[in-house]
Amino acid sequence: MRMIIWIVLLLVVAGLAWIRLAPSDPAVWNVDPQVSADQDLASGVRRRIPGGEETFETLHRIILESPRTEVLAGSPSEGRATYVSRSKWMGFPDYTTVQQDDGQLGLYARQRFGQSDMGVNKARVDAWLSELVARQN
């Protein structure tokens, strides 16, 4: 019985280590977000807002001010950037891609692991967009 407990504990620790240390391939995550309309999804959120490069630069700064968030690939000057935000305790990665196209910014935030993000990406993106509006006024 004791051996089973140790095996289960080892599997849990290995799973948590994989979640925190799994590599993030930019070729997989820094892709066209294909945002045609605002959508709330079980695994994330899509938003489309008006804005050009200046708006993207401001949003970029707001995103990088978020805790545990960093650039995975791209930049506003390239027209597309993908960010990784990690949860505080478990380190679950969420990916947000922002792309500028024809005077619009498309944002696609999604989880990597699991079936539902429990609204975390929606709350994060909506907070970023609220801060963007506040800074533009």
Q: Domains plus CATH for the chain?
A: 26-136 (3.30.310.80)
Element (H, E) at 136: helix 120-136
76-122 pLDDT tens trace:
999 999 999 998 888 889 999 999 998 999 999 999 988 888 899 99
Residue type, 34: Q
pTM above 0.85, yes or no: yes
